[in-house]
Amino acid sequence: MGGAPAASAGGRCERPPLLPRVAASQGGGMLGKGVVGGGGGTKAPKPSFVSYVRPEEIHTNEKEVTEKEVTLHLLPGEQLLCEASTVLKCVQEDSCQRGIYGRLVCTDFKIAFLGDDESALDNDETQFKNKVIGENDITLHCVDQIYGVFDEKKKTLFGQLKKYPEKLIIHCKDLRVFHFCLRYTKEEEVKRIVSGIIHHTQAPKLLKRLFLFSYATAAQNHTATDPKNHAVMFDTLQDWCWELERTKGNMKYKAVSVNEGYKVCERLPAYFVVPTPLPEEDVPRFQGHGIPIWCWSCHSGRALLKMSALPREQDDGISQIQKNFLDAIYKTIHRPPYEIVKTEDLSSNFLSLQEIQTAYSKFKQLFLIDNSTEFWDTDIKWFSLLESSSWLDIIRRCLKKAIEIIECLEAQNMNVLLLEENASDLCCLVSSLVQVMMDPHCRTRFGFQSLVQKEWIVGGHCFLDRCNHLRQSDKEEVPVFLLFLDCVWQLVHQHPPAFEFTETYLTVLSDSLYIPIFSTFFFNSPHQKDTNMGRESQGAQSKPLNLLTVWDWSVQFEPKAQMLLKNPLYVEKPKLDKGQRKGTHFKHQRQLSLPLTQSKSSPKRGFFREETDHLIKNLLGKRISKLINSSEELQDNFREFYDSWRSKPPNYHGLLLPHIEGPEIKVWAQRYLRWIPEAQILGGGRVATLSKLLEVMEEVQRLQEKIEERHHSQEALQAEAASLLRTSARLSSLFPFALLQRHSSKPVLPTSGWKALGDEEDLAKREDEFVDLGDV
């Protein structure tokens, strides 16, 4: 009975080694009740059985287990910091506890578990593998919370520890949960690896100490594709001129270079667009505050603008100067009846960042599941927990706000000016949603990536602070960009043919927020990026660092895996010949500006002065509760516009609005549930429907080939996408991420939570009603 821990082929252990097994049956909670083993620096648990295996015998025989461990692959510039051997990576499965032996290592880029897990992968060529981050890798920026288990009690770990845990639990920002048993690890290694992980994931960092710079320096000679092949970067004046020409906004707006070299404001980009009548000398007066900056123009000539509020001043003289300045600015953009501007103060009558942060903190806890029992216990009260988080309601409010702004642009024929303190959070969110709904170009992959570059990266969203990459302030960490992606997913889910990209694309984009080899999401502003990458240095010897852009998906995925980022059901815009194109033009440009609904009577004299005062009060930070239009009138306009659009068949290359009624707003299952095996539907879900649709499309294409006797390249791509879906032996509702799961999904009915539904005997009698899909 003595000897090493019993491990099956591939280094797997069906349960922690208990030799001899003379104990009573183990419960289905935390790993290994009453296991006598070395390490962890913890007191011996209360004995429930007798073990005749000495700890030194276990450590001696562990060498046989670790011989098959895989090699640690390091990126350029990556350095190993600490490691521990004989760590058991656990898979929680109620009373059945399984795991894999291996090494747990921590580098300056990631935490990685190295075990002989080749048998689990089954050499499935269709797996959706990331070339940078492996299945058992966690980038340091992706770590959310670290917990330790002491005598079966779970506690949050931070700072210097006096006692080290017997088990380490890591919650990730991509909602993965890792369990590492340290009972059989040497005490010195436990102290080293636990302290190292806590320090390198939680201690405040300096920007220059991020792995981003180590990688950029080490990979300086590596060739990278031109980022302009993947998106418009909006880092040159020509990029802005191109966007103005594309949206037909160049008649009323102009691209300016007044901030070139960031000599006016470090918060603004080097180049941006302002109304043509605006004098450029007005821009530097308050460091860019109070200046209307162009976001986008629609087909009718109406435009979406944004503006950052002026700082609050106590001095009456300065306040009067600010008021006069804003009055002059407003007169340049509000010239009735030709140019009418509606102001939308997002800081006072919309969401707050605190609301978003609180809601997501509650929401994410629904998916950080430790074991099957916890999953089924919380499943009973799932809807009440989901509603109490308010996350879906926040998504609905964002979509509704975007529709309200679209109604002003389309139906009321007004320009809209978005106001916010720094115009870098909610302005980015709302303006991006408006463009996705109104501009079909933004629903292509190139267009969407260009949109993110324009409104978020160059627009000055503080990714470094909002993602808390430096671990300096939890209060600043707010998932505004993730909220945007969730809103876009609602549109993709409701109108799949309108988007060139898939939900998988949005999922891996959200994951890329925490991969510090891309510069895209690791700076607060273009100025901060250019300064720290050496692009502003005038020294002859200083060579600017060239970082990768996240838009080059070949860095993370092989070509076959990239096929899953492209939507095979996307309906491309038909190319019209010259005759057809002429027939679609309006008779005159003014016709484009006619309101789509019955026009309202002209406002009374003095209204525009009130509008100006309203704008000034908002920009000066004086919040007022009274709106220009009554809420009842706004609701009536919104409902009329929304119902009118829904009564018509959707135009996938025109205006696209989401359904925002109660059950229409859904949970983004692929992102939030992909790591929970119990939530998968093997052989079902939307992916099964997509697979059938692709089969039909493939058959139609084959018939078309016989008729036309030719083969289009696009058809070959669709056929390859169909084969990717069909050849997967583990196709599930959470494809392609569910391929990594090798776990039974048979429902377990916990007696603690289901008593209200019937006694245990009745539930036992109905057990045969559940189909064990794990063997399918």
| Residue range 123-136, pLDDT digits in tens | 444 468 999 999 99
Cis peptide before 5 (omega within 30 of 0): no
Q: Which of 277, 234, 633, 618 is nearest to 421 (CA)?
A: 618
CB atoms within 10 A of CB 262: 18
Give the Cβ contact number of residue 574 at 10 Å. 7
pLDDT attached to residue 712: 54
- Rounded Cα–Cα distance for residues 690 and 485 (Å): 22
pLDDT, greater one: 30 or 530: 530
Residue (of 553, 557, 545) closest to 222 by Cα position: 545
Given pLDDT bands bounded at 50, 70 and 90, which one contains residue 403? very high
Nearest 5°: CA angle at 494, between 378 and 484?
A: 70
C-beta separation of 180 from 129 below 8 A: no
Q: What is the pTM of this model?
A: 0.81
Residue 519 pLDDT more than 80?
A: yes
Tell me the range of 150-154, 402-406, 567-571, 643-647 where mean pLDDT is highest.
402-406
Res 513 pLDDT > 50:
yes
Instruction: List the Cα angle 452/132/690 in 5-degree steps.
Output: 65
Residue 606 in this model has a pLDDT that exceeds 80 = no
Closest C-alpha to 99, from 27, 16, 204, 194: 16
d(CA 544, CA 347): 38
Phi, psi of 266 (to 5 degrees): -75, -15
Tell me the torsion sign for CA atoms 491, 496, 500, 506.
positive
Mean pLDDT, range 314-343, rounded to an integer: 89
What was the pLDDT predicted at 373? 87
Q: Please report how the helices 480-494 and 391-410 are oriented relative to each other, as an axis angle in degrees rounded to 10.
A: 70
The H-or-E segment that residue 110 falls in is strand 110-115
Provide the pLDDT for residue 156: 96
- In this prediction, residue 722 carries a pLDDT of 55
548 or 33: whose pLDDT is higher?
A: 548
**Residues of the chain with pLDDT > 70: what percent?**
72
pLDDT at 278: 94
Q: What is the pLDDT of residue 576?
A: 60
Cα-Cα-Cα-Cα dihedral sign, residues 124, 126, 132, 135: negative
CA distance 188 to 39: 8
* Model confidence band, residue 313 (pLDDT cutoffs 50, 70, 90): confident
Find the range with the poorest average confidence among 221-230, 425-434, 530-539: 530-539
Cα dihedral 22/28/31/36 (nearest 10): -20
State the CB neighbour count (10 A cutoff) for residue 513: 25
Q: Are 248 and 229 in contact (CB under 8 A)?
A: no
Phi, psi for residue 145 in degrees, rounded to 5: -135, 150
Distances (CA, A) of 104 to 85, 113, 161, 188, 194: 6, 5, 19, 14, 10
User: What totals of helices (H) and strands (E) does the chain contain, helices first?
Assistant: 24, 15
| pLDDT value of position 683 | 78
Most confident of 38-47, 189-198, 369-378: 189-198
Beta carbons of 754 and 763 less than 8 angstroms apart: yes
For 544, half-sphere exposure in the C-beta direction (CA atoms, 13 angstrom radius) is 12
Lowest-confidence region among 9-13, 73-77, 540-544, 614-618: 9-13
Residue of 322 and 741 predicted with greater confidence = 322
Alpha carbon of residue 383 to chain centroid: 23
Helical axes 391-410 vs 353-364, angle rounded to 10° = 140
Q: What residues does 88 pair with on adjacent strands?
A: 101, 181
DSSP letter string over 580-598? HHHHTS-SSGGGGGS-SSP
How far, in Å, CA of 145 to CA of 167, rounded? Answer: 14
Q: Distance of CA 716 to CAs 334, 557, 575, 707, Å?
A: 53, 20, 21, 17
Coil/strand/helix, residue 416: strand
Q: Average pLDDT over the chain, rounded to whole?
A: 79
The more confident residue out of 427 and 632 is: 427
Cα radius of gyration rounded to whole Å, the chain: 29
Mean pLDDT of 329-333: 91
First to last CA, the chain: 36
List pLDDT tens digits, range 738-768.
644 444 444 444 434 444 444 445 544 444 4
pLDDT, tens digit, 9 for 90 and up, residues 51-64: 444 444 444 444 44
- Asked if pLDDT for residue 1 goes beyond 50, the answer is no
pLDDT number for residue 453: 98
pLDDT tens-digit series, residues 231-277 = 999 999 999 999 999 999 999 999 999 999 999 999 999 999 999 99
Q: Tell me: the pLDDT tens digits for 657-700?
A: 999 998 999 999 999 999 998 888 887 777 777 777 778 888 88
The predicted structure's pLDDT at residue 718: 54
Per-residue tokens: 567: 């939507």
pLDDT reading at 354 higher than 70: yes
Three-class secondary structure of residue 645 per DSSP: helix
Residue 345 has pLDDT above 60, yes or no: yes
CB of 773 closer than 8 Å to CB of 746: yes
Checking 287-295 for CB contacts under 8 A at 24+ apart, the result is: 288/259, 288/264, 290/322, 290/325, 290/326, 290/329, 290/619, 291/329, 292/329, 292/333, 292/417, 293/268, 293/423, 294/244, 294/249, 294/253, 295/418, 295/431, 295/435, 295/454, 295/455
Report yes or no: 355 and 394 within 8 Å, Cβ to Cβ: yes
If phi over 0 gives left and psi between -120 and 50 gives alpha, with beta otherwise, what is residue 234? Answer: left
- The angle that helices 426-438 and 391-410 make with each other, rounded to 10 degrees, is 60
